[in-house]
Structure 1
Amino acid sequence: MAHIDLELLRGRIRSMTFERGTPEQIALWREDIAESRANLVIEDMMPTDEDDAMFALMLEEGVPPALMSSIILDLYKSGTGQLAA
């Protein structure tokens, strides 16, 4: 994955309309993501520090895991690794 401008990403997420998670939901999602990350490590697909920071930011903003991949796809231009304008 290319360099991630976390503050730009945070701004984009904050401008989006979706139902944010409750603190209880976010705690459960955090556990699920930690488990998924551990599985990636087992499969020798080590997430980068930037990947970890991006998912942490999304959890901080209450993004449900089901929307995370859609948000990433919508925010990044295909093939460039840059946030879409």
Structure 2
Amino acid sequence: MIEFDIEAVRAQVRAVDFMRGTPAEIALWREDMAESRANLVIEDMIPTPNEDALFGMMLDEGVPPPLVSQILLRLLDHPDADRSLPVTPIERTT
């Protein structure tokens, strides 16, 4: 299991230059995230509390969904990640 240091990721997210969502957009993204989470639960792929906190923090910071995906890819050091993002991949402990 991967544990994200939410506050460390928050600091890195704040260093990224992007257009933050408006309150109305964030409300829509929050609804979409709740729907996606419900679908994951139906598929028995229940996010951990730490994963929920990570996505909640991204909403709190107004990160648009496409950028959330790119940040997550970078955190996981995925080959498709945008290496120009100022986000440090996390070290896997498992």
1:82 aligns with 2:91: yes
Deviation for aligned residue 1:75: 2.8
Per-residue CA deviation, residues 44-80 of structure 1 (Å, 9 max, x unaligned), is 10111011000000000000111111101113345x8
Runs of 4+ in 1 over 2 A off after TM superposition: 75-78, 80-83
Q: Which residue of the partner structure matches residue 11 of structure 1?
A: 11
TM-score, L = length of structure 2: 0.80
Aligned residues: 82
Extract unaligned runs of 5+ from structure 1: none
What percentage of residue pairs aligned between the two structures are identical? 56
Question: Which residue of 2 is the match for residue 30 of structure 1?
Answer: 30
Q: What root-mean-square deviation, in Å, do the aligned CA atoms of Structure 1 and Structure 2 show? A: 1.8
- Select the structure that is richer in helix: 1
For residues 73 and 26 of structure 1, the distance between their equivalents in structure 2, rounded to whole angstroms, comes to 21
Q: TM-score, normalised by structure 1?
A: 0.87
Question: Taking CA–CA contacts closer than 8 Å with sequence separation of 6 or more, which of the two structures ends up with the larger relative contact order?
Answer: 1
- Name 2:62's counterpart in structure 1: 62
1:9-61 per-residue CA deviation (whole Å, 9 max, x = no partner) reads 00000000111100110000000000000000001101110110000000000
